[in-house]
């Protein structure tokens, strides 16, 4: 029998009642992790009670397969709830090694139609939702490190191709996911001293959120390899939560089926330096030269 990748590790997975989160929780448990299955039970647009009991169902699956898990239904956007989620792991399993921030929903809308309430709701669940639980987890890990105990901890965030290159009809969602990619870079830089790594995922998979916008493209395959199955992303999550990933931090992983790559993010292009102030009249030809010299950007989703 092969050794389990996450034996003895304790992992929180938010939004783990369905889709990608469920796949992560099941795979982590199969790899030996003790899992806190967090899910508030809301729908794809944040409607209350749409999937009540989802966390408990995933826990039942894990336990039926011989794994260890507990359900948690706290709201990841609530500061004190974030504390309770972390405490749930400590009380249930005696420790915490990783937080997988997966919870989120969409309010797809063209920018000209997006309302302030929709904008705020999407940014709250994704950005604040990535903050609250992780901040309390970091407080726990930092206290352990300062007390002289070894820390080998993980934060795994969820960005998106929409955040890395934009997506038509998803201005709020794209903004939030871009913020999460930047947050990951900052966390990696700041938290390394405490024994904490931070990485992000940009999965391309079939979930409740993609089934409406990309239903035809991401439909389930009857035969052969199911490229968009959420289970395809789960092994990377288990590896990132394991001790084996200790040297990897500050990365954004893009996945689709069996294809995996690292996002290069924003990077410098060729430049022109006049060694003096430009006049407005000079800048038209200069900008065109810069545009011609740089590598072409990936197109915004929905434009090609």
Query: Which is the catalytic residue, given 177, 242, 245, 301?
Result: 177
The one catalytic residue among 24, 134, 159, 160: 160
Tell me, yes or no, if 160 is annotated catalytic.
yes
173 is catalytic: yes
Active-site residue, selected from the candidate residues 134, 167, 171, 173: 173
Instruction: Reply yes or no on whether 52 is catalytic.
Output: no
Strand order of the sheet with strand 98-100? 68-72, 34-38, 10-13, 98-100, 153-158, 196-203, 252-256, 259-262
Give the catalytic positions in this structure: 160, 173, 177
């Amino acid at each position: 029998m092969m050794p389990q990748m996450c034996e003895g590790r304790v992992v929180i997975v938010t939004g783990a009642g369905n889709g990608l989160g469920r796949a992560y929780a099941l795979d982590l448990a199969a790899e030996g992790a003790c899992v806190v299955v967090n899910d508030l039970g809301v729908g794809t647009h944040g409607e209350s009670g749409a999937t009540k009991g989802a966390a408990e169902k995933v826990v039942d699956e894990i336990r039926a397969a011989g794994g260890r898990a507990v359900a948690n239904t706290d709201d990841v956007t609530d500061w004190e709830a974030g504390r309770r989620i972390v405490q749930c792991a400590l009380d249930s399993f005696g420790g915490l090694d990783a937080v997988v921030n997966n919870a989120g929903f969409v309010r797809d809308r063209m920018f000209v139609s997006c309302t302030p309430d929709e904008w705020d709701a999407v940014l709250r669940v994704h950005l604040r939702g990535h903050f609250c639980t992780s901040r309390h987890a970091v407080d726990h890990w930092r206290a352990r490190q300062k007390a002289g105990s070894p820390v080998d901890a993980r934060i795994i965030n969820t960005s998106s191709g929409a955040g890395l290159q934009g997506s038509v009809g998803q201005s709020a969602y794209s903004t939030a996911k871009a913020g999460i990619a930047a947050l990951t870079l900052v966390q990696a830089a700041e938290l390394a001293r405490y024994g904490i790594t931070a990485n992000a995922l940009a999965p391309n998979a079939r979930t409740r959120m993609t089934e409406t916008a990309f239903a035809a493209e991401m439909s389930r395959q009857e035969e052969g390899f199911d490229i968009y199955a959420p289970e395809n992303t789960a092994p990377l999550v288990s590896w990132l939560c394991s001790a084996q990933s200790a040297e990897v931090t500050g990365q954004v992983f893009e996945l689709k089926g069996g294809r995996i790559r690292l996002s290069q993010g924003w990077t410098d292009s060729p430049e022109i330096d006049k060694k003096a102030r430009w006049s407005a009249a000079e800048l038209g030809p200069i900008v065109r030269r810069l545009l011609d010299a740089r590598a072409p950007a990936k197109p915004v989703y929905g434009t090609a």
